[in-house]
Amino acid sequence: MTEHDGPARYGHLDCNSPIAAWRFERHVEECAAASPGTIVDIGCGWGELLQRITERVPGARAYGIDSDVALLERGRAGAARRGLDSRLEFVEYQGRDWSEPADLVISIGAAHAFGTAAEALRELYGLVRPGGRLLFGDGVWNRVPDEAELAAMWPGTTLQDWLSLPDLVDEAVAIGLRPLRVEAVEQSEWDDFESQFLADKEVWLLANSGHPKAAEVREQADAHRDWWLRGHRGLMGFAYLTLGRPVG
Ligand SMILES: C[S@@+](CC[C@H](N)C(=O)[O-])C[C@H]1O[C@@H](n2cnc3c(N)ncnc32)[C@H](O)[C@@H]1O
């Protein structure tokens, strides 16, 4: 999309989940240190994390799976820029149909591709080779919202959409995974994420206030800001679980 057509999509985000640069870099380091021979990222978007990990593990073969063709194209361009295109493939696929196991499985912010978080963990467990790892990221409730709080969030949000952090970890353990690291983002990481998500629209609006689409874009930006600031802010966290699958 050109500036003339409307705002860009995810133009101000390095990746499409709330995460500080230092935490992102620690994921890269820790995932690379396990020296995975094969890596798959289900719901990878443009796969910035996948690209960075693949770059650090010279022999690894990697696959980024997503259903959004435009995001996959951005991923392919990034992989080509980094000289990774011979061993990192971006594949258009429905996440739950992917069946090729890997030493490192990543799925961040894409649990809905499988259903609930518990269903996602079960499916992803089956993709992790024994002795391998799963890096799983998903929203969590910081506390249980009441009906009015739920109604202020994105339309259609229900209590069942997320678990609490302890319940999410319990689900992973019950499936047979062991937690190597359990972490949840700070509020500032959510705020940065939402601000950068909205920046495409806000920066475009500043330069295009008389554009025929300006009213619609302003309405979308205002609604999204409300879902964030009057809705999920403080109520929702975002967890990253680094999980190991036992060898035997
Ligand atoms: C919140 S984004 C996270 C992207 C990426 N993991 C990241 O952290 O930058 C969720 C991604 O899941 C993808 N997705 C949603 N449903 C999917 C499905 N059924 N199969 C594959 N990908 C899916 C979306 O296209 C989107 O790129």
Q: Cα(88) to centroid of ligand 1, in Å?
A: 17
| Structural domain contains residue 225 | no
What is the 3 state secondary structure string of the chain?
CCCCCCCCCCCCCCCCCCCCHHHHHHHHHHHHHCCCCEEEEECCCCCHHHHHHHHHCCCCEEEEEECCHHHHHHHHHHHHHCCCCCCEEEEECCHHHCCCCEEEEEEECCHHHCCCHHHHHHHHHCCEEEEEEEEEEEEEECCCCCHHHHHCCCCCCCHHHCEEHHHHHHHHHHHCCEEEEEEECCHHHHHHHHHHHHHHHHHHHHHCCCCCCHHHHHHHHHHHHHHHHHHHCCCEEEEEEEEECCCC
Domain that holds residue 75: 21-142+154-186+236-244
Tell whether ligand 1 has an atom less than 6 A from the beta carbon of residue 185.
no
Tell whether ligand 1 has an atom less than 6 A from the beta carbon of residue 108.
yes
Q: pLDDT tens, 42-96? A: 999 999 999 999 999 999 999 999 999 999 999 999 999 999 999 999 999 998 9
Mutate to test the pocket of ligand 1, among 66, 114, 185, 192 (most ligand atoms within 8 A of CB): 66
Q: pLDDT tens, 167-222? A: 999 999 999 999 999 999 999 999 999 999 999 999 999 999 999 999 999 999 99
| Structural domain contains residue 74 | yes
Tell whether ligand 1 has an atom less than 6 A from the beta carbon of residue 142.
no
Tell whether ligand 1 has an atom less than 6 A from the beta carbon of residue 94.
yes
CATH of the domain at 30: 3.40.50.150
Percent of the chain with pLDDT over 70: 98
The tally of domains found in the chain comes to: 1
pTM: 0.97
